[in-house]
């Protein structure tokens, strides 16, 4: 293979769920399901909740939503930077849990500043978790299936998110929007489990990912030879 060329599988989307890539793909599917389901379950109905349940005027609601996104920019930037220093998994797990807690808090705290603060944390922590997930899933797969790996695992999350507004609508009609928010936020548990099952990728060079994938897919004889060369290099 010439320099600059890459090896491409004939059916890359299926390859994502074959060895050795399935070990990374399945946890990514879990955290994308949690991310997408909880995201759409919440963001679809937050304006309705603020106006109809909390009785906030439309101008105030629009102002809050705008400033929520300003805070989300700051929190996302900070957390993404910290994930480069201290790891993707710890911060993804931490902020998925914080998002879950913040959604519950938003339905329980009194009006005014506590409600605004809870909403700020929801928007900021949610966006931070998504941003880390983009980086983490990019670093899981080797070059020749990276696009398919990210696209396929995210698509699984998007398929699950199709049902989020439908399920949320049924729950809110029967039990109220606040209860639906709390139940929908539990989808972040999938994100937490996905990261617990996944591996840390922060600081891993992309070339190293390609080498590990090539070694895992090589015939047993070549794999043993490559391992022997690696041990020899480490002893020199």
Q: Are residues 174 and 219 in the same domain?
A: no
**213 in the same domain as 149:** no
138 lies in the same domain as 212: no
Contact 49, 180 (CB under 8 A): no
Q: Where in the sequence is the domain holding 119, given as residue range(s)? A: 20-201
Query: Could you give the residue ranges of the DSSP H alpha helices within the chain?
Result: 12-15, 22-43, 46-48, 58-86, 88-108, 113-138, 146-175, 177-185, 188-197, 206-217, 220-235
Report how far residue 213's alpha carbon sits from residue 228's, in angstroms, rounded to the nearest whole number: 17
Residue 28 lies in a domain: yes
Q: What is the pTM of this model?
A: 0.83
Reading the chain (236 residues) residue by residue, the pLDDT tens digits are: 556 555 555 545 677 888 888 999 999 999 999 998 888 778 878 888 999 999 999 999 999 999 999 999 999 999 999 999 999 999 999 999 999 999 999 999 999 999 999 999 999 999 999 999 999 998 898 888 888 889 999 998 888 888 887 888 888 888 988 898 898 899 999 999 999 999 998 887 777 776 776 666 656 655 454 444 444 444 45
173 and 226 share one domain: no
Total tally of structural domains belonging to the chain: 2
Residue 15 included in any domain: no
Q: Which residue has the tokens 């047993």?
A: 220
């Amino acid at each position: 293979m010439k320099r600059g060329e890459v090896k491409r599988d004939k059916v890359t989307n299926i390859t994502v769920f074959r060895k050795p890539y399935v070990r990374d793909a399945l946890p990514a599917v879990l955290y994308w399901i949690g991310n997408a389901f909880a995201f759409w379950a919440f963001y679809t109905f937050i304006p309705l909740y603020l106006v109809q349940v909390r009785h906030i005027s439309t101008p105030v609601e629009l102002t809050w939503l705008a400033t929520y996104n300003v805070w989300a920019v700051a929190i996302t930037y900070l957390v993404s930077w910290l994930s480069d220093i201290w790891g993707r998994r710890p911060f993804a797990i931490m902020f998925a849990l914080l998002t879950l807690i913040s959604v519950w808090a938003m339905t329980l705290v009194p009006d005014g500043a506590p409600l605004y603060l809870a909403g700020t944390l929801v928007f900021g922590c949610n966006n931070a978790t998504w941003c880390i997930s983009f980086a983490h899933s990019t670093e899981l797969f080797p070059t020749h299936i990276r696009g398919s790996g990210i696209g396929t695992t995210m698509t699984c999350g998007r398929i699950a998110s199709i049902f989020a507004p439908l399920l949320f609508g049924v729950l809110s009609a029967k039990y109220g929007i606040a209860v639906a928010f709390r139940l929908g936020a539990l989808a972040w548990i999938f994100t937490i489990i996905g990261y617990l099952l996944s591996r840390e990728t922060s600081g891993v060079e992309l070339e190293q990912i390609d080498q590990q994938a090539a070694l895992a897919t090589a015939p047993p004889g070549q794999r043993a030879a490559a391992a022997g060369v690696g041990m020899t290099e480490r002893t020199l």
